[in-house]
Amino acid sequence: MPARIDPAQRRGQIVEAAFRLVIAEGITGMSLRKVAEESGLNIGSVRHCFDSHHALLTAAAEEAGNRMGRRLAGHPVERLRGLRGEVALDALQALVETVLPLDEARREEAAVVVELIAASRTMPVFRPIAARMGADLTAVLREALTALEVPEAELAAAQVSAVVGGLTFDALTPHGALSVEQLRTILRAHLRGLLGVSEPG
């Protein structure tokens, strides 16, 4: 009698396979059949967990968002209270960098999220999750900037969110072809201006 696979384990296996395919081929290259092959499961098992390409892509994007969220949790906003100068700048940059494509794992997550956001322009089914992911990031940034007593934290959070989006796109595509060093330097310059921290020396 074959061993039974835990439903949560099977679902995770499928999402991981979809994740890899979106990274390698984009959303147009991901199909339920390809995901079945990639995961080593039959198409019926995949359809039992996800009844559409849209549902599977959404699950892959949510997994990327969850991974980013777990890293953000390692930088609780409360730790920012009372910080000033370069110390505040270092702490804020460390928080923002958790969601930027600075290493292979973060590049993969960002690629999946960017694919979904781009798809949401023409596919209404993806608009709610794209909007929620943007709102969630802006909320975290607003809390962080409020803790650092940045004036007009709402506007400042929207600005940083826009910078994150632009840097991510330019780091993942030939549009900007940003290196990790360039990405971090640009981010730091923006955050330095936002916090009003003068250059050392």
Whole-number pLDDT of residue 199: 87
Instruction: Give the model confidence (pLDDT) of 45-92 as tens digits.
Output: 899 998 888 898 888 888 888 888 888 888 999 999 999 999 999 999
Domains of the chain: 1-51 (1.10.10.60), 60-195 (1.10.357.10)
Q: What's the pTM value of the predicted model, to 2 decimals?
A: 0.87
**Cβ atoms of 96 and 191 closer than 8 Å:** yes
DSSP letters, 8-66, are HHHHHHHHHHHHHHHHHHTGGG--HHHHHHHHT--HHHHHHH-SSHHHHHHHHHHHHHH
**141 secondary structure, DSSP code:** H
Q: Which two tokens stand for residue 84?
A: 């000033």
